[in-house]
Structure 1
Amino acid sequence: MSDANYLSLEKLTLAYGDTVAVDKLDLSIAKGELLALLGPSGCGKTTTMRAIAGLLTPASGTIRLDNVDITRVSANKRAVGLVFQSYALFPHLSVFENVAFGLRLKGIKGRELEKRVEAGIKSVGLAKFVSRKPGELSGGQQQRVALARSMVMEPKVLLLDEPLSNLDARLRLEMRTELQRVQKETGVTMIFVTHDQGEALSLADRIVVMNGGIIEQIGTPEEIYNAPVSSFVADFVGFENIFELSDGALKTPSGTAILKTAAPFDAKGLAWRPANVMLGSGAFEGIVRGTSFAGNTREYLLDTDLGPIKAEVPANLPVHAMGETVAFDLPVNKAAPLNKFG
C-alpha cells in the first residue's frame, strides 16, 4: 500500500441500531496528511472518527492502517491517538503526570518515561508548566497538554474532536498555528473533526465535506472555498446567493430569470459570494432592507424578485440608504457552477 493510502476507509457503513449514520464511505488519507472532516451536526463526521479510533464497530466495510486491517482491532491496540473535545485531563494530576499517564499504563518508566514526557511537553511549548494542575492553566494550555499526552504515545494517526471549539477567538488563532507546527514537525497523520469552515480552511491540507452520512466533496481548502460542487457545500462555505438552474435560467420565487451570459451547459445551479454581486449597475433591481458596516467592507441585504440577495462592497463607496432601490448584477464569470443541487 502506498503512502497515499496510509489510512483507508473502504465501503464503511456505520449505524446506531437501525439508523445508518455513514453509508458506504470510501476515503484514502496520505501518510503525514492533515485532514479535516467538515460538516454540520449529524453529518457523520464524529461517527467516522469514532470508528477510526475503535470506539464504534462498523456495520460493514474495512478500515486499513499502514497496510493492516484494523476494523476489528481494539482501540488500545490500533496505534491511533484521540484528543477529546473536553480535553479529559485529570484535574488532580500535574501536567507531567497527565502526559505520562498513558506511558505508565504501557509499562514505560524511569529515564525513558521522563525523556518522552519532557520531549512531549516541550513540543507544545509548556516546559515551564510541568508542575501545574489543569485548573491552573488556560484553555489553550489545557488543549496543548491533551495534545502532548496523545503525541507521546507515538500514534500512527492522531484524531482531534472539535479541537478548538472550547477556546475563545484569540486562543483559537493561536492553537491553529500550534497544531500546524506540531503536525508538520512530527509528521504525524492528523485528522480533525470540525463544523467550523474557517478552521478547516486555515488548517487542513485537504477537507472532506460530509452531509447526511456521505461525502459531498473532497478537495484542498482552495478547491472547497472557490469551487464547491453542490448547493450544500456552497452554502456551508459562505456562498449566500445560490440558485438552481432551469434550461440555463435562474429559478426564483417569481419564476425564471435570464442571465446576460449563458451558464455552463452542464451546471445544475450557480452560486455567488456577496463580494461577487455587482452593486450599483446591472439588469436587476432590489430594495435595501439591511446594511451593516464590516470594517473594510459594507454588507447589504436586498429584497428582489429573485429572492433575498446579499452583496458586499468596499466601505469607501457611497452608502445606499435603507429603502433605496439599487441596481445589481450577477456576473456568470464570478459564479461557482454547481454539479448537484438540493
Structure 2
Amino acid sequence: MSDRYLQLDKLTLAYGDTVAVKDLDLAIAKGELVALLGPSGCGKTTTMRSIAGLLGPASGRITLDGDDITRVSANKRNVGLVFQSYALFPHLTVYENVAFGLRLKGIGGKDLDAKVSAGIRSVDLSKFVDRKPAELSGGQQQRVALARSMVMEPKVLLLDEPLSNLDARLRLEMRAELQRVQKETGVTMIFVTHDQIEALALADRIVVMLNGGIEQIGTPEEIYNKPVSAFVADFVGFENVFALENGKLATSNSLVDLSGPAPQAAKGLAWRPRMVILGSGPFQGTVRGTSFAGDTREYLLDTPLGAIKAEVDAELPAHAIGATLAFDLPLAAAAPLSRYR
C-alpha cells in the first residue's frame, strides 16, 4: 500500500485576495478512510473542492496515484464526489440515477446493467430500483448518491458532510454502511465533517484543521486521548483547558500551583469534565448550572480558576445551584499540550 497515494504539497487555495488554505502538506494512503475535521471556515471543504478539481490552487501541487493532477479538469481526475445535498435527479429512478455517469462514458447494454446492478446491491437498494428520490428516505437517498459515485470506480471518493442531513438513528446506520462499502471496495475515501463524534467513529485517520492549516493528524484514539493543542483539546471534549507558565496553571488573574511537577515541555494542560473530582480537593467553586444527561449529571462551577465543567454519575446526590463544592484537577488525568494558542 502506498502511503502517498494522494498527496498535497504546499497547497495554497484562495478566493480572490482571501487565502483560505496556506502551504498545506498532506499524504493519504491508498485504501484509507480519512476525515477532514474542523469548524466552519477552517478550510476543510475548500481543500476537498481542490482535490475534486472544482477550485484551482494559487500554488502547490496535487498528485494522485503518481500522476500530477493539479491542473487536470474535474471530469478527467477519476475522483468521485458525494454532495451534502445528494444532488440526485428527481425525475429519474434509482437505477437511472446510478446509471447516469456510466451512460455519459458511453457504457451501455449488459455492461451498464451489470455495473449498475452491482452498485445498487452494494448499498442494499435492490428492492428500490424503480423508485424516484422523493419516494426514498434520507438514508436511502444518501446510499443512491454513494452508489452513483462508486460505480464510476473512482480512485478517490470525496464526501461533503455526508451524514449531516440525517436524523440520529439514520446517522448511526449510515456510518456502518459507509464503513462497510469502503472496506469491501477498498476505495480511498475522504469525508469532510464538523462533527467530532462522526470523525472518531468512521475514520482511519483524522486531519484536524483550523484557519486554513492542519492542527493535528492522527488516529481517532490519538486525537481523542492525546490532543496536541488547546484548540484540538477543546474540540474533542477537554473543556477545562489551561496554559502553563513556570510549571503553574495560568488563569486570567493569577498562577496556580499544581499538585506535582508539570509534564516536561508541556505548554498547557486539559481535563475532560469527567476527569474533574467533585466533593474533595484543594479548590472550591460555586455551582452556577446543572443539567441531567441520563447516566450522568453535568455541573458548571464558578471558581478562582475560571469556569470549570464537571461530570459525575447521575446516581450520586445532586448539588443545587449556589452550592459551594470542593474539587480537584488530578494531574495524572490531564492531557499535556505541546502547543497552547
With the length of structure 2 as denominator, give the TM-score of the two structures.
0.99
Structure 1 unaligned regions, length at least 5: none
The residue identity in structure 1 corresponding to 2:276 is V
Q: Which residue of 2 aligns with 1:177?
A: 176
Aligned-residue CA RMSD in angstroms?
Answer: 0.7
Query: What is the deviation of 1:200?
Result: 0.2
Correspondence list, 1:50-89, <5 A: 50-89=49-88
1:245-300 deviation line (CA, Å, top 9, x unaligned): 11111111231111111111211111100000111110000011111111111111
Matched, 1:236 2:227: no
Correspondence list, 1:92-111, <5 A: 92-111=91-110
Q: Which 4+ residue blocks in structure 1 deviate beyond 3 angstroms?
A: none
Q: How far, CA to CA, are the matches of 2:71 and 2:292 in structure 1?
A: 54
Q: How far, CA to CA, are the matches of 1:27 and 1:258 in structure 2?
A: 40
SS state of the match for residue 328, structure 1? strand
SS state of the match for residue 341, structure 1? coil
The residue identity in structure 2 corresponding to 1:80 is V
Q: Which residue of 2 aligns with 1:252?
A: 251
Q: Is the 8 A contact 1:96 1:130 kept in 2?
A: yes
Query: What is the deviation of 1:19?
Result: 1.0
With the length of structure 1 as denominator, give the TM-score of the two structures.
0.99
Q: Which residue of 2 aligns with 1:328?
A: 327
1:99-118 deviation line (CA, Å, top 9, x unaligned): 00000000000000000000
Structure 2 unaligned regions, length at least 5: none
SS state of the match for residue 3, structure 2? helix
1:152-190 deviation line (CA, Å, top 9, x unaligned): 000000000000001111111110000000000000000
Q: How far, CA to CA, are the matches of 1:126 and 1:3 in structure 2?
A: 33
Q: Which residue of 1 aligns with 2:11?
A: 12
Q: How far, CA to CA, are the matches of 1:154 and 1:297 in structure 2?
A: 46
Size of the alignment, in residue pairs?
A: 341
Q: Which residue of 2 aligns with 1:262?
A: 261
Query: What is the deviation of 1:323?
Result: 1.1
Q: How far, CA to CA, are the matches of 1:3 and 1:188 in structure 2?
A: 13
Q: Is the 8 A contact 1:253 1:305 kept in 2?
A: no
Query: What is the deviation of 1:78?
Result: 0.8
Matched, 1:119 2:122: no
Query: What is the deviation of 1:9?
Result: 0.5
SS state of the match for residue 4, structure 1? coil
Query: What is the deviation of 1:321?
Result: 1.8
Correspondence list, 1:156-235, <5 A: 156-235=155-234
Q: How far, CA to CA, are the matches of 1:261 and 1:301 in structure 2?
A: 25
Identity of aligned residues (%): 77
Q: Which residue of 1 aligns with 2:296?
A: 297
Query: What is the deviation of 1:13?
Result: 0.7
Q: Which residue of 2 aligns with 1:141?
A: 140
Query: What is the deviation of 1:341?
Result: 1.1
